[in-house]
Amino acid sequence: MTDTLVQFLRARLVEKQDHARSMAPIVARGAGSMDVRPELAAAFAQEMVTAAEARLRLFEETIYPYLWVDGRAGRLADLQMRLMAFEYTAHQDYRPGWAPDEAAEVS
């Protein structure tokens, strides 16, 4: 189960990063048509990219390495992964068994 969830989440995070990178210039250039100040649109566009990159790094560097660790650290990593994946419940490949409330107790 964990391997499948890892693959699902990693794919969604990379996908979101790619979308943010491709949409950022469009958002920044389209400020006038959205009646938004250009500097606000540019800042928002950069925030989209930075947030997507940060989510992917968070997963790869602070969650993934601990998923197969025994004890509290492993359970906490599993819960964090489930919480990150919960954002994608509307995706056709998301499985209800991945919900955070299905995680083992973290205590």
Q: Whole-model pTM?
A: 0.86
| More confidently predicted of 65 and 28 | 65
Query: Quick one: CA torsion of 54, 60, 63, 67, rounded to 10 degrees?
Result: 160
Residue-wise pLDDT tens digits, 37-77: 888 888 888 999 999 999 999 999 999 999 999 999 999 99
Cα-trace Rg, the chain: 17
Write down the mean pLDDT value for the chain: 90
Predicted local confidence at residue 6, as pLDDT: 97
Predicted local confidence at residue 107, as pLDDT: 64
Domains of the chain: which residue ranges? 2-102
The token pair at 104 is: 């083992």
Per-residue pLDDT at 105 exceeds 70 = yes
